[in-house]
Structure 1
Amino acid sequence: MRDYPESVAFLGQWGRFQQVVFFLLCATIVPNGFGAFNLVFLTDVPRHHCALPDVNLTEDWRDSIIPVQVVNGNQQLSRCSRFRLDVVRNLSAQGLVPGRDVNLTDLEQEGCVDGWSYSRDVYQSTIVSEFDLVCSEQWKLTFTSTVFFVGVLLGSFFSGQLSDRFGRKPVLFATMAVQMLFTFIQVFSTSWVMFTVLLFINGLGQISNFVAALVLGTEILTGHVRVLYSSMGACLSFTLGYMMLPIFAFLLRDWTSLLLALSLPCLAFLPLWWFIPESPRWLLSQGRVEEAERIVRTAAKWNKVQAPLVIFEEAGLERKLQRLRPGEDQEHQNHNPPPLPGDPLASPRFSTCTGYYGLSFNTSQLHADPYMSCFISAAVEVPAYISGWLVLRYFPRRPSICCSFLLEAVSLFLIQLVPQTLTNLSIALEMLAKYFITVTFSMMFAYIAELYPTLLRNTAVGICSTAGRLGNCIAPYLVTLNTYLLHLPYIVIGSLGIVAAFAALFIPETFGRPLPETMQQMHQRERMKCPCVTGKQTPIPVELLDSPL
């Protein structure tokens, strides 16, 4: 049986059909960029202090009722306490002056029983100021981010299996609709609990449509265009949305307006249903040869080339034979399931997501302006994804991923050696680490899609993404470790990178080989020797030498 790329070689690699699929799928990925990181602004904590009721106090006492604390060597007003109002009111009525007649350190303090007053110099409102998620309630902020990523984890897991069962296209648009709808409904949240529940459901669609779009494009496109899409096209589209987020947040500065701006434009993506086709590879794996041929013939018309009379005749015959004697593939499926979180591939994915999201959510450390911080963190990804595409284009996957993990770890470990006075050098090293982990991030998506056969590709990508999303769930807590030791987050992320680099040595190489269509082809690849361990070149089967890759 001919491989799929060979069967559709008459289409070429970059005709009108491929261009439409490439750019439309990239467009569907853009909302994931601002959807994945909008919590950076929604949960940011504005400057605040205890609110004061309208009571009769002198100007001196009104200015002094909030205690001054020293935090990291700097003096600032207390965020969670004030001097007891009844005592201050009596002292004010007696005409005593704070600091001259009264020693403020001797006064008793109380909590913010009348609520908080929030600064509006950066934000008009966030969910923090909306639901008072400060002081004793501040734990809810990290928990909110974790709930979102738990939704992303479950969505990645189940959407992969649904996509392999019902098709890539239905899952892509269903998860896009979930993300758009529940982002919009969040605007009407009346409590933190309601917001968090809706955020969880939103997370079910977030990234799931990214995975579906990634797999759909990987299966439709062939040759170097497939590598270009899966590494740079999809990832740069994500980064474009990421870079748009701080611009929207800067212009709007209100959490409800920001959510509306991020949800309503997604309505424009729904008509793309009539322009984005289903994966012919997936249709062939389901025995739906006529539908696959119909899509390819439409592509031939768009590309203005002549399609052969029969495109997938051998594929259809082979599929019928497999239905009559399914034992071989079924045996492979039973004894060799997709990777689980304990497998070698899951460890690099976990480390990649932990490092990527941990460093991304740590953007408040970069610049005094949170909008500029977020934009810098996003902009670093542009050269990183371009580098990832070049590496995938010209170098083997396995040693490239190992090297990028190690360089990320070295950059993070070096931060500990930088004096606190050289903050710009620390920022540069952190952005260098973000660059290398982003390169790894882009390569991992393409690598996973290349490893597994069509029947299980979306499930495998979903399960590996699930392992990665476990890293997402701990990333918000990982950032807070700097309260115990300043460089502890960097130590943890760097150590995970070293472990992942070692685990990546055990993953089969895919460079220069076509996508596997069956479990048998995948396991033939697994039996090849590891060149990074033996020092010998990995043998390539003769039937793969004429691959378009």
Structure 2
Amino acid sequence: MANPLDKKDLPEVHSPHPNGVYPAFKHLKEDTNGATIQAQDRVDPLTEVIGEYGPWQLKWHFLLGVTTIFHGWQMMSNKFLTYKSDYWCAPPETMLNGSLIYPKEQWINISTPLDFDGRLDFCHVFDVDYDSFHQDRPEESSPIRPCHHWHYDHSLFQDTIIQRWDLVCQRQHLPRMIQMGFFAGNFVGVSLSGPVADYFGRKIAYMSFVTMWILASVSSYFTTNLYAWAACRFVIGGCSLAYVNVASVLAVELTNGKWRSITGHIFGELMWNLGIISLGGLVYVCRDMHTLELIMGSCLIPALLLWYFLPESPRWLLSQGKFDEAKLVMGSACIANRKPIRPIEEILAVNQRNYEEAVMASGDKSKQSSFLDLFRYPGIRRNTILVGFAWLSFSMGYFGLFYNTPTFGMNVFLVFIFPALVMIPASIIQPCIENKIGRKTSLTVSLLTAGVMLLVTAALPQDSTAIVICAWIGTIACSFSFGVGYTVTRELFPTVLRTTAMSFSSAMARVGSFVSPFIAMLDDHGSEVPLLVYGGIVFVAGCLSLWIWPETRKIRLPESLEDCERVASSPNSWFKLCLSQPKDPLSHSTELK
């Protein structure tokens, strides 16, 4: 093997990459069939020095992965914190303070009027004198008055926010609004995490978001005001997704090659599903939701020690010209991975020279790319819109189903954790599936499967456990789509806009999760109605994903906008009957400015 530190084998660094990652190699070898070797298969100078994977990477990947478990707790705890339970109007205080106390069933019978559909109306109570002894139900024509205080069924969960602040009747929409506020925080957090991490560094951004997450989580336990609690949930939602996004970037930048995909699924998706399963077990043991908030808020306090121990990304340090700090990080990595430390000086010298050249060339603004370039060329524009809609759909379906799958008397904990249990082995084999049948096929099949399973619920009888099974399959398929979506987006767009494309796609996913509680409100018209809406949107996304092109499994990562547009506008083999593409797809494209 050639010396990885030989200058001719090193990539030419034209500008610091936003994520601190080495740009893809400019010169790619071709085989006899003209196919190109993927850029990540080339020698990476950094990992050739510190080791592509070893004890050093494993330690930090594991610790970052553990924090993903607690991220899963906060993301999915909304289902239990806002869980609906039976309620009825509380007796007058004069009755509670006196000796006259009715059993629950008798009190409901004599105090609760009927609504227009003949069902008990727990939002009103008969306006009669309950201080006198009553055993008979008043006439239905008796006057009624609104109820202002309620008692709740605590047999399953205690002290949910619904029970704590009486979020029923005229206030029953507030739990959904709080969920949407949480997802709005997700959107703000994911939008801020990239610029903050790029400017201040991965470590500072990660630890800052973790610290704010802990403060907001603990504060939510002590607050006694609903709106202050909702504000804490907004901050928790923003910081939770922000620190996980930064952690995923940091984890990727510590390694190279096949390990990026493997570690992404093992320490990302797998840990996420372990978080869901462990949350189900935690809620099974701790049924008091107020106490659960304190447990979730305290679990990351030991992570504050990482302010001292967590290393900065060596790639980011090199891209920012912080060579002394990079030398210390790379030295500790070499020692842990039992690699010689002498080559560090050579790679630092090469990077320092390239960095100085990049700084001198950075005055040429005309070659810089922007977010609008995703919509400037027709092929890239098509992929941007379709990939964004795919992210919106599987995020909407995933969170909507997890929060709102009807139980129909089944065990609520089993309904909650079963999809995550199935995704544990799926997280391990998913990289193999993607490499075997391709990214495009994996994405399209999983989206169509989720859509069909949810649409099938329309043909099933109401209150049927088959609806739950179909919802399970839909949730699993949406979760699979989530994993494929990350792979497709990273490989489909050019290096100059890859981070921007990821941010846009993740923001679209937050829009989907934000809208999902609105759709869940349609359950007033039938428990299967939200499932039909989720299914319809996901199915449409699956059909539209046929136009996402090309299949990225065996092609090199596109480097420039021109490269990306050329392959994006190449003939789609899935549509052989379509009109042929122009020979030079750039001939009809808007010139990059």
With the shorter chain as reference, the TM-score category is 0.7 to 0.9
Name the structure 2 match of 1:545. Answer: none
Cα distance, 1:510–1:232 mapped onto 2, change above 3 Å? farther
| Whole-angstrom CA distance in 1 between matches of 2:536 and 2:331 | 51
Q: Residue type matched to 1:2 in 2?
A: L
Partner secondary structure for residue 385 of structure 2: coil
Name the structure 2 match of 1:378. Answer: 420
Name the structure 1 match of 2:362. Answer: 326
How much does 1:185 deviate? Answer: 0.2
Whether 2:311 is the aligned partner of 1:311: answer: no
| Whole-angstrom CA distance in 1 between matches of 2:81 and 2:164 | 10
Partner secondary structure for residue 206 of structure 1: helix
| Whole-angstrom CA distance in 2 between matches of 1:273 and 1:514 | 38
Name the structure 2 match of 1:2. Answer: 10
Name the structure 1 match of 2:474. Answer: 433
Name the structure 2 match of 1:64. Answer: 109
The 5-angstrom pairing of residues 400-549 of structure 1 reads: 400-420=442-462, 423-450=464-491, 460-504=501-545, 505-506=547-548, 509-511=551-553, 520-521=559-560, 524-529=563-568, 533-534=572-573
How much does 1:479 deviate? Answer: 1.4
Partner secondary structure for residue 44 of structure 2: helix
Name the structure 2 match of 1:85. Answer: 128
The 5-angstrom pairing of residues 168-179 of structure 1 reads: 168-179=202-213
Name the structure 2 match of 1:390. Answer: 432
Name the structure 2 match of 1:98. Answer: 136
How much does 1:11 deviate? Answer: 4.1
Residue number among 21, 24, 47 corresponding to 2:63 in the alignment: 24
Cα distance, 1:226–1:63 mapped onto 2, change above 3 Å? closer
How much does 1:342 deviate? Answer: 7.0
Q: Which moved more, 1:476-485 or 1:446-455?
A: 446-455
How much does 1:532 deviate? Answer: 7.5
| Whole-angstrom CA distance in 2 between matches of 1:335 and 1:80 | 51
Partner secondary structure for residue 190 of structure 1: coil
| Whole-angstrom CA distance in 1 between matches of 2:393 and 2:200 | 31
The 5-angstrom pairing of residues 58-457 of structure 1 reads: 62=107, 64-67=109-112, 78-86=121-129, 92=133, 98=136, 104-113=139-148, 115-307=149-341, 308=343, 309-326=345-362, 331-334=367-370, 337=373, 343-365=385-407, 367-420=409-462, 423-450=464-491
Partner secondary structure for residue 311 of structure 1: helix
Q: Residue type matched to 1:323 in 2?
A: V
Q: Residue type matched to 1:385 in 2?
A: S
How much does 1:429 deviate? Answer: 1.5
Residue number among 89, 103, 122 corresponding to 1:50 in the alignment: 89
CA RMSD, 1 decimal: 3.2
Q: Deviations over 1:452-485 (max 9, x none)?
A: 6778665543332221111111111111212235
Partner secondary structure for residue 49 of structure 1: strand
| Whole-angstrom CA distance in 2 between matches of 1:122 and 1:335 | 49
* Structure 1 contact 357–475 (Cα < 8 Å) conserved: yes
Partner secondary structure for residue 88 of structure 2: strand
Q: Deviations over 1:115-152 (max 9, x none)?
A: 11112211221111111111111111111111111111
In structure 2, the gaps of 5 or more residues are 1-8, 12-21, 23-42, 376-380, 577-593
Cα distance, 1:536–1:501 mapped onto 2, change above 3 Å? closer
In structure 1, the gaps of 5 or more residues are 538-549
How much does 1:40 deviate? Answer: 1.0
Partner secondary structure for residue 124 of structure 1: coil
TM, length-normalised to structure 2 = 0.79
Q: Deviations over 1:516-542 (max 9, x none)?
A: 7xxx456534432567714699xxxxx
| Whole-angstrom CA distance in 2 between matches of 1:438 and 1:337 | 30
How much does 1:173 deviate? Answer: 1.2
Q: Which moved more, 1:378-387 or 1:232-241?
A: 378-387
| Whole-angstrom CA distance in 2 between matches of 1:284 and 1:238 | 31
How much does 1:155 deviate? Answer: 0.8
Cα distance, 1:489–1:361 mapped onto 2, change above 3 Å? same
Report percent identity of matched pairs.
25
How much does 1:356 deviate? Answer: 0.9
Name the structure 2 match of 1:541. Answer: none
Q: Which moved more, 1:313-322 or 1:474-483?
A: 313-322
Residue number among 21, 35, 39 corresponding to 2:74 in the alignment: 35
| Whole-angstrom CA distance in 1 between matches of 2:498 and 2:309 | 23
How much does 1:79 deviate? Answer: 2.5
Q: Residue type matched to 2:185 in 1?
A: G
Partner secondary structure for residue 140 of structure 2: helix
Name the structure 2 match of 1:13. Answer: 52
Q: How many residues align?
A: 522
How much does 1:258 deviate? Answer: 0.6
Q: Which moved more, 1:168-177 or 1:457-466?
A: 457-466
How much does 1:407 deviate? Answer: 1.4
Q: Residue type matched to 1:83 in 2?
A: F
How much does 1:290 deviate? Answer: 4.5
| Whole-angstrom CA distance in 1 between matches of 2:312 and 2:101 | 72
Q: Which moved more, 1:485-494 or 1:330-339?
A: 330-339
* Structure 1 contact 357–472 (Cα < 8 Å) conserved: yes
How much does 1:388 deviate? Answer: 2.8
Cα distance, 1:58–1:48 mapped onto 2, change above 3 Å? closer
Q: Deviations over 1:204-238 (max 9, x none)?
A: 20211111111111122212221012223211111
Q: Residue type matched to 1:202 in 2?
A: I
Name the structure 1 match of 2:27. Answer: none
Q: Residue type matched to 2:144 in 1?
A: Q
How much does 1:379 deviate? Answer: 2.4
Name the structure 2 match of 1:542. Answer: none
| Whole-angstrom CA distance in 1 between matches of 2:520 and 2:238 | 23
How much does 1:366 deviate? Answer: 6.0
How much does 1:433 deviate? Answer: 0.9
Cα distance, 1:503–1:332 mapped onto 2, change above 3 Å? farther
Partner secondary structure for residue 211 of structure 2: helix
| Whole-angstrom CA distance in 2 between matches of 1:85 and 1:382 | 57
